[in-house]
């Protein structure tokens, strides 16, 4: 089936945080998709990789796959893309399953869809092709898209730096926590840490509190409260222990 691509000014319309995710239709390793329409009601981590059969991308794909149930526990789906053909994607996925061992994982089946974008039109639409990066491959872009199809986070990594998938998951949890509890999360936040409550909206509210640090107030929300609010299942890993270890 032919890709559905609308007219688009690639130079001036790279999507931004808070905007609707650009729509497209495309062949993937799991069949044809209409994006983000087919994912309405779910969060999505939509990410590009520079190319099939490349070493850093292989380690990223295996790490994403190892955490797929953790993302799905957060009502979050994974969708990959590169400017390769569907046949190339399938051959690479078969190679990962049959020949690659990483971090003790082997015979790993990549089950999330990988978008074929040989023309590069979808990648251009999302700003994934950046000629100043040195070639025509996609950079390591990440778009976190909410259930309404709105872009909530954008990350770009160079080809030489593999992504921290645990950090991407942490961002998803932080966004969902912020939405569910109407709070913000401070630097280095992980579930169980204090969150920031909104600043007073009126001068009278500040005077009533008579506190010097009125613009920076914290409150506690337990990991259990967050889990109960944003998911019906426990995370696969003990996030608090795992991410505290990452901080050291």
Residue 232 Ramachandran class (φ > 0 left, ψ -120 to 50 alpha, else beta): alpha
Distance in angstroms (rounded) separating the CA atoms of residues 200 and 205: 6
Q: Catalytic residue, from 57, 129, 183, 243: name it.
A: 57
Nearest to 146 by CA among 195, 74, 236, 231: 74
Residue 57 annotated among the catalytic residues of the structure: yes
Query: Which residues, in sequence order, are bridge partners of residue 145?
Result: 44, 151
Q: Evaluate whether 62 touches 55 at the Cβ level (below 8 Å).
A: no
Angle between helical axes of 165-181 and 239-247 (0-180°, round to 10): 120
Active site residues: 57
């Amino acid at each position: 089936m032919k890709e559905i691509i609308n007219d688009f000014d690639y130079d001036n319309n790279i999507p931004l945080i808070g905007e609707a995710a650009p729509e497209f239709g495309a062949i993937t390793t799991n069949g044809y998709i209409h994006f983000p329409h087919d994912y309405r009601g779910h969060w999505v981590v939509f990410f590009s990789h520079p190319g099939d059969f490349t070493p850093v991308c292989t380690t990223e794909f295996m790490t994403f796959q190892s955490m797929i149930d953790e993302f799905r526990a957060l009502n979050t789906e994974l969708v990959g893309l590169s400017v390769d053909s569907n046949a190339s994607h399938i051959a690479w996925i078969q190679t990962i399953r049959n020949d690659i061992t990483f971090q003790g994982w082997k015979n790993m089946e990549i089950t999330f869809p990988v978008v074929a974008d040989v023309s590069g039109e979808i990648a251009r639409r999302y700003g994934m092709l950046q000629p100043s990066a040195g070639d025509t491959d996609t950079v390591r872009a990440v778009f976190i898209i909410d259930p309404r199809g709105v872009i909530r986070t954008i990350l770009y990594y160079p080809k030489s730096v593999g992504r921290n998938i645990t950090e991407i998951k942490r961002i998803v949890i932080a966004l969902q926590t912020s939405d569910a509890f109407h709070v913000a999360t401070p630097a280095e936040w992980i579930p169980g840490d204090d969150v920031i409550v909104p600043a007073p909206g009126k001068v009278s509210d500040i005077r009533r509190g008579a506190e010097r640090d009125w613009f920076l107030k914290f409150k506690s929300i337990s990991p259990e409260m967050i889990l109960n609010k944003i998911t019906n299942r426990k995370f696969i890993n003990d996030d608090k222990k795992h991410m505290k270890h990452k901080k050291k």
